Chains A and B, each alone.
Chain A
Amino acid sequence: DAGITQSPRHKVTETGTPVTLRCHQTENHRYMYWYRQDPGHGLRLIHYSYGVKDTDKGEVSDGYSVSRSKTEDFLLTLESATSSQTSVYFCAIRGGVGETQYFGPGTRLLVL
Chain B
Amino acid sequence: AQSVSQHNHHVILSEAASLELGCNYSYGGTVNLFWYVQYPGQHLQLLLKYFSGDPLVKGIKGFEAEFIKSKFSFNLRKPSVQWSDTAEYFCAVNGNFGNEKLTFGTGTRLTIIP
> Taking beta carbons and an 8 Å cutoff, which residues of A are in contact with B?
31, 33, 40-45, 48, 50, 56, 58, 90, 92, 94, 98-106
Contact = CB atoms under 8 A, between A and B. Distances in A.
Contact of A50 (B32, B100, B102, B106): B100
Contacts of A103: 36, 43-45
A31 B43 contact: no
A32 B97 CA distance: 18
Given A90-B44, A99-B32, A48 B106 contact: no
A103 B104 CA distance: 13
A82 B48 CA distance: 36
A92 B42 CA distance: 14
B32 A104 contact: no
Interface size bracket, B side? 20 to 34
B101 interface: yes
A99 B42 CA distance: 22
B32 A98 contact: yes
Interface of B: 32, 34, 36, 42-46, 49, 51, 90, 94, 96, 98, 100-102, 104-107
22 contacts: A33-B102, A40-B106, A41-B106, A42-B90, A42-B106, A43-B44, A43-B90, A43-B104, A45-B101, A56-B100, A90-B43, A90-B44, A98-B32, A99-B32, A99-B94, A99-B98, A100-B46, A100-B49, A101-B102, A103-B43, A105-B42, A105-B43
A104 B90 contact: no
A42 B38 CA distance: 11
Contacts of B102: 33, 45, 92, 101
Contacts of A90: 43-44
Given A100-B49, A101-B34, 5 more contacts: A44-B104, A48-B100, A99-B94, A100-B34, A103-B43
A48 to B, nearest CB: 6
Given A43-B90, A98-B49, A100-B49, A31 B44 contact: no
